[in-house]
Each structure stands twice: as C-alpha cells, then as structure tokens.
Structure 1
Amino acid sequence: MLRLIDATVGKWVRHTLFILIRSYYALFYNVSCSGKHLLQTDHGTLILATHVSRHDGPLISAILYSTKRIRPTVHYDEYYHWMQWLPMWIGSAIPMSSPKSWPDERRAARKQQTLRVIHRVLDNGNCVLLFPAGMARRQPQEIIAPGLSGLHDILRSKPDTPVVLLRLDGLGQFQRATHDLFWSFLGRTKGRRHVSVAITPLTDLDPDLPLPAFNARLEELLNTPITDDL
C-alpha cells in the first residue's frame, strides 16, 4: 500500500515540490552542471558531494531530478527536526547516524538498518546522495571527522557500487561569488549567483584501506578543484 501511495500521490507531490525548488534556483542562481550523463549510464550510483552551504541538498536534488531519482542522506537530528521532517519525508531523504544517548546495541542496529535501506535504494537503480564531511563547511576546506565511517561501511559491504564525485563551486561562503545581470532591468547590480556543479567518476577510492587512510584520501578528493583532473 505504501509503495502504491509513493508511486502515485507521492510522485506528484515530489514533482510539484521540485518544480517549485528548481524555479527558485533558476531565478536566483545561474547553475551549470557537467557529467549528468554518468548517472544515466550507471544504475544505483552513490554520489559523494562537497558540502559548501545549506543549499547543497535542495539544489543538487532539484537540478538532477529529471536525470535520476536522488535519495539524499541527512543526519538523524535534521531529519526528525519538527520544522524539517515533512520536506525531508516528501523528498525521500534517508536519515543516518543516531543519537549518542542511545545504547551501543541500539546504535549498531540502527546503523545496520540504514545500510540495508541504502543498498536497497541502490539495488533499485536509484541514486543516493551523501555528504562525506557530514556538515556544511565552516572553513575553506572540506574536513572529515576521524570517526565518520558511513561511506566506508557502505563500500566495504558492496565494493562494486558505482561512485561519482560531485563538487560544488561558487555557492559557499568561502568560495568566490560571481553574479550575472539577470535582474539588471530592476536596477539591481547583482543578478543570479553563478554556481558550477561537476560530476566525475570515482574509481580509486579503496574501501579496503583502514578508516583513517580512507578518510584522508576522500578528503583529498573532495578538496580537488573542479578544474583539476582527478
């Protein structure tokens, strides 16, 4: 029954919501995106994205909506926040992590449940959007906390999962802000902010590495400028 509701009413609600979100970003941001075809050639792709601002999740989901269904991952506290739960649910977000106050056994069970959901989504041919750093940047570079192991666990349990790297530029507070003249007819000198999204295949992230080395390599990849080759 839930699947039927999701495929009918849920699909129309998501479609309407993402049209509104995409219209917002079209009006106030000049977004270019390269590499979207990679999501169409591979099924069940894991998208690893830089996290430069609070706009990242909605913007990425909106611009890729017509390419592939994207299931974003969000922190447990954000998903169940009373002001955010409804849009998170409509957008089919996947909550990750768990409250630190929970017993270790309950946290471990929650982690295994999340892994099962993610792999089920990937097996169904949909994409999962994950921000490896866990939170929006509070510094110029992407920093992965030593204990974050979600991505490591996902790839270790299924190493053949297709993975792409998505890097955002021009959106964060530590990135250069360039504007066009879209709103110049209203007398505004600043128009839409230019945002670049680059999607590239990622084949050299070895899940067999120990967690510290794995996170160090991932951190290096996330901080590679868009203009550089991986």
Structure 2
Amino acid sequence: MIRFLDATLGRWLRHFLFVLVRSYYALFYNVSCAGKHLLQDRPGTLILATHVSRHDGPLIAAILYATKRIRPTVHYDEYYNWSQFIPMFIASAIPMSSPKSWPDERRKARKAVVLEIVHKVLAKGNSVLLFPAGKVRREERERVPAYLSGVHDILRAEPNTPVMLLRIDGLGAHQPATYDSFWTFLGIKKGRRHVTMDLRPLTDLDASIDVEAFNARLEDLLNTPISHAL
C-alpha cells in the first residue's frame, strides 16, 4: 500500500512541489548546471555535494528533478522538525544521524538502519544526495571531519557504487555574488543571482583507506574550484 501511494499520490505531490520550488528559483536565481545529463545513464548514483547555503537541498532537487529521481539525505533533527517534516516526507528524504542524547548502542543501531536504507535506494536505481560536510559552510573551505563517516561506510560496503561530485558556486556567503538585470523594470537594481552547478563522475575515491585519509581526499575534491575542474 505504501509503495502504491508513493507511486500515485506521492508522485503527484512531488511534481506539485517541484513546480513551486523550480518557479521560485527561476524567478530569483539564474542557475546553470553542467553535466546533469551524465546522471541519466548512471542508475543508483551517490551524489556528493558541497554545502554552501540552506538553499542547496531544494535547489539541487529542483534542478535535477526531471533528470533522475533524487532521494536527499537530511539530518535527523531537521527531518522531524515540525516546520519541515511535510515537504521532507513528500520529497522522500532520508533522515541521517541521530540525536546525541540517545545511548551509543541505539545510535549504532540507527546508523545501521540508515545505511541499509541508502543501499536499498541505490540498488533500485534511484540516486542519493549527500552533503559530506554535514552542515552549511561557515568558512572559506569545506570541512569533512573524521567522525563524519557516512560516505566512507557507504562506499566501503558497496565499492562499485557510481559516485558523482556536485559543486555549487555563487550561492554561499563566502562566494562572489553576481546578479543580472532581470528585475530592473521594477526599479530593483539586483536581479537574479547567478549560480553555477557542476556535476561530474568521480572515479578516484578509494574507500579501502582509513576514514581520516578518505575524508581528507574528499575535502580536497569538494574545495576544488569549478573553474579549475573544467
């Protein structure tokens, strides 16, 4: 019954939500996304994205919606926040981590359940969006501390999982802001903010090494400017 509702009512609700979100970003942001066509031929892909603002999740989901179904991951507390739960549920977001107040054994059990869900989603051919840094960037560089082992655990369990790296530029507080003249006819000097997204396959991420070295390598990849990667 749950699968039936997801494929019918859930599908319509997701499309309605997509139209609303995509319309908002079309009005206030000028977004370009290089490489998103590559996602069509890569079923079950783990997408690792930079986290430069609170717009990242809905923006990425809206831009990639018509390319491949994306299951975003969000922090447990954000997923069950009363103000966000409904859109998170409609978008089929996957709650990650667990409250720090839980006992260690319960947190370990929760982590095992989440990893199982992620692998099932990937095995069905859907893509999973994950922010390795875990939180919005508050400084110039993306930081991936060793205790954030989610990506390492996922790829260590299934090394052949397709991986793509997604960088966002022009949206974060520490990134240059460039605007067009879209709204000047209303007397507003700033128009839509220009945002660049770059999505490309990642083939040199080795999960057989220890998590600290793995995260250091991932951190370097996330902090490579889009202009240098082209």
Structures share fold, TM-score greater than 0.5: yes
Q: Does 1:186 align with 2:186?
A: yes
The residue that corresponds to 2:196 in the other structure is: 196
Deviations 1:138-189 (A, max 9, x none): 1011011221101100000000000000000000010000000111111111
Q: Does 1:208 align with 2:194?
A: no
Residue identity matched to 2:100: K
Question: 1: distance between equivalents of 2:79 and 2:106?
Answer: 18
TM-score norm. by structure 2 comes to 0.98
Deviations 1:90-124 (A, max 9, x none): 11100001112212221111111101110111111
Deviations 1:46-79 (A, max 9, x none): 0000000000000000010000000000011111
Residue identity matched to 2:29: Y
Residue identity matched to 1:200: R
Question: 2: distance between equivalents of 1:175 and 1:137?
Answer: 11
Residue identity matched to 2:81: H
Question: 2: distance between equivalents of 1:3 and 1:149?
Answer: 30
| Secondary structure class of the residue paired with 2:226 | coil
Question: 2: distance between equivalents of 1:146 and 1:209?
Answer: 12
Q: Does 1:170 align with 2:208?
A: no
Q: Does 1:125 align with 2:137?
A: no
Question: 2: distance between equivalents of 1:101 and 1:229?
Answer: 41
The residue that corresponds to 1:134 in the other structure is: 134
Question: 2: distance between equivalents of 1:190 and 1:28?
Answer: 10
Question: 2: distance between equivalents of 1:164 and 1:109?
Answer: 28
Structure 1 gaps, min length 5:
none
Q: Does 1:35 align with 2:39?
A: no
Question: 1: distance between equivalents of 2:110 and 2:201?
Answer: 30
Question: 2: distance between equivalents of 1:214 and 1:195?
Answer: 29
After superposition, residues 71-110 of structure 1 pair within 5 angstroms as 71-110=71-110
Question: 2: distance between equivalents of 1:166 and 1:140?
Answer: 17
TM-score norm. by structure 1 comes to 0.98
Residue identity matched to 2:129: L
Does structure 1 retain, via aligned residues, the 8 Å contact 2:164–2:199? yes
Question: 1: distance between equivalents of 2:228 and 2:117?
Answer: 34
The residue that corresponds to 2:144 in the other structure is: 144
Does structure 1 retain, via aligned residues, the 8 Å contact 2:145–2:212? no
Question: 2: distance between equivalents of 1:225 and 1:111?
Answer: 32
Q: How many residues align?
A: 230
| Secondary structure class of the residue paired with 1:166 | strand
Structure 2 gaps, min length 5:
none
Does structure 1 retain, via aligned residues, the 8 Å contact 2:159–2:207? yes
Supply the RMSD in Å over aligned alpha carbons.
Answer: 0.9
After superposition, residues 14-53 of structure 1 pair within 5 angstroms as 14-53=14-53
Q: CA deviation at 1:38?
A: 1.6
Question: 2: distance between equivalents of 1:119 and 1:154?
Answer: 8
Does structure 1 retain, via aligned residues, the 8 Å contact 2:168–2:198? yes
Residue identity matched to 2:62: A
| Secondary structure class of the residue paired with 1:155 | helix
The residue that corresponds to 2:4 in the other structure is: 4
Q: CA deviation at 1:229?
A: 2.8
Moved over 4 A (4+): none
The residue that corresponds to 1:69 in the other structure is: 69
